Amino acid sequence: MAVPFPDPASETDPAARLLAEAAPGDNVPPLSVSQLSAAIKRTVEDGFARVRVRGELSGAKRAASGHFYAALKDDNALIDMVMWKGQAARLAFRPEDGIEVIATGKLTTYPGRSKYQLVVDTLEVAGEGALMLLFEKLKARLGAEGLFDVERKQELPRLPRIIGVVTSPTGAVIRDILHRLADRFPTHVIVWPVLVQGDGAAAQVAHAIRGFDAIEPGGAVPRPDLVIVARGGGSIEDLWAFNEEVVVRAIADCRIPTISAVGHETDTTLADYAADRRAPTPTAAAEMAVPVRAELQELLATWNGRMIGAANRQQGLWAERLTALARHLPRREALYAPQRQRLDDSGDRLDRSQRQRLAVIAERLATRGASLRPALLARRWDRDRARLEGLGRLLDSLDPRALLSRGYAMVRDAGGAIVTTAARARDTGHLRLQFADGEVPVTIAGSDVPPPAPSTPRPARKPPAPPPKRGQGELF
């Protein structure tokens, strides 16, 4: 449908004027958009410089810069909020959609979008009901990750040598734990002091748990065999540090078995779900950690007595059985008699077999020796005779007296010793010259020594006659 142009006659209407003109009596100057936005900003900030607003979080998100953005709403209205990085880092809980909170801050505008928003300094959960809702939401989210699964639970050590305790160093909790441990089973305890309530408590508790877990075995500080995270009773707000995600994850990641003993028996925290064992009180945690030493000693004594009694009964039973079996055994003489008879029979057979074998060998030797003896003895006789004749000829050739028959003489002194040099002959004075047929005494001229009496001449040695040949003769 076509839009008609305005009637020229209507130009007299002020609302239809083309150019802006100041009307008579008008004292309101025109403002720029920035001027108006700034005026609105001052008015809003001056009028709402400090406000506390209760509402339900919606669209909660944390930007990469660290700032936190969300909206507060109720049944009829909604207002945006922002929490800058510094304040958001100090939040005692993780804000999520659906949590009713009380935000404290100031109202301001955002001229770039013609919006107003609440700049929050502190953000608190609005009452225990809202806090319980936050508890259930966090429990559901961490449980979905498997942090509370039974399969993750570790067995507690039977007799821990060292126990690490994460708690306040000045409260009654640590005194109760130490006293109970001393009564039951004195054990070495290492206390890691932390805040258990208020700002920074959750971070300190998580740091202590991870610190114990980071201790290496064999170092200067002994590594605990068991860790107890403990705190006394209080309201849900007082115990909230043990519901913080950082604490729950530290307990779930700890490789050391952990006991959670936070609050009284009716109090429940997320740390209880993540720990390997939950104790209703810190004193009960000490009772879970160690047994009663006196009971162990009594139990050991009972087991020792039972073991000795069982051993004695078994030994007596074995002795009875052995005696009963021994009655059925044959006597020693009865066992040895067959073996002795067998030994005698074997000895007789051995003796007879040896005599028979010797008789066979003797007969065989006599038979073979009769054929071999004459030829062997004849050959050996001829060989020995030839050797003897050769030795006789050699002896004759070496006998000096054999040379005397060829004109040689042997010179001796008075004592019969052979003289081999002229100087010796002159010194001796009297000599004996032996020829083949006798001796002749000789005196050296000028010698005063009387001559010796003549001796009977020694006949020359005749060569031995060859032995007569003879037959075999008798062997035996």
Cα–Cα distance measured from residue 397 to residue 268, given in angstroms and rounded to the nearest whole number? 137
360-406 pLDDT, tens digit each: 888 888 887 666 666 677 788 888 888 888 888 887 777 777 777 77
Cα–Cα distance measured from residue 79 to residue 72, given in angstroms and rounded to the nearest whole number? 5
Name 410's bridge partners.
434
Question: Above 90 in pLDDT, residue 143?
Answer: yes
Q: Strand 438-443's sheet: what is its strand order?
A: 410-412, 430-435, 438-443
Cα–Cα distance measured from residue 386 to residue 388, given in angstroms and rounded to the nearest whole number? 5
- Spatial neighbors of 384 by CB under 8 A, at least 6 apart, are none
Cα–Cα distance measured from residue 190 to residue 223, given in angstroms and rounded to the nearest whole number? 9
407-435 pLDDT, tens digit each: 788 888 887 888 888 888 888 878 888 88
SS percent in the chain: helix, strand, coil, step 5: 45, 20, 35
Alpha helical stretches, state H, 233-331: 245-253, 270-274, 282-289, 293-327
Band of residue 21 on the pLDDT scale cut at 50, 70, 90: low
Is the torsion defined by CA of 157, 160, 164, 169 positive or negative? positive
DSSP per-residue codes, 216-258 = PTTSSSPPPSEEEEEE----TTTTGGGGSHHHHHHHHH-SS-E
- Please name the helix (run of DSSP H) or strand (run of DSSP E) that holds residue 104, with its range, or none: strand 100-110
Q: Is 47 left (phi over 0), alpha (psi -120 to 50) or beta?
A: alpha
Cα–Cα distance measured from residue 111 to residue 102, given in angstroms and rounded to the nearest whole number? 26
Cα–Cα distance measured from residue 125 to residue 134, given in angstroms and rounded to the nearest whole number? 8
316-345 pLDDT, tens digit each: 999 989 888 888 877 777 777 888 888 888
Upper half-sphere CA count for residue 240 (Cβ side, 13 Å)? 23
The pLDDT value given to residue 475 = 39
Whole-structure pTM over 0.75, yes or no? no
Residue 207 to residues 163, 210, 212, 382: CA-CA distances in angstroms?
Answer: 17, 5, 9, 120
Question: Above 70 in pLDDT, residue 288?
Answer: yes
Tokens of 376: 């062997």
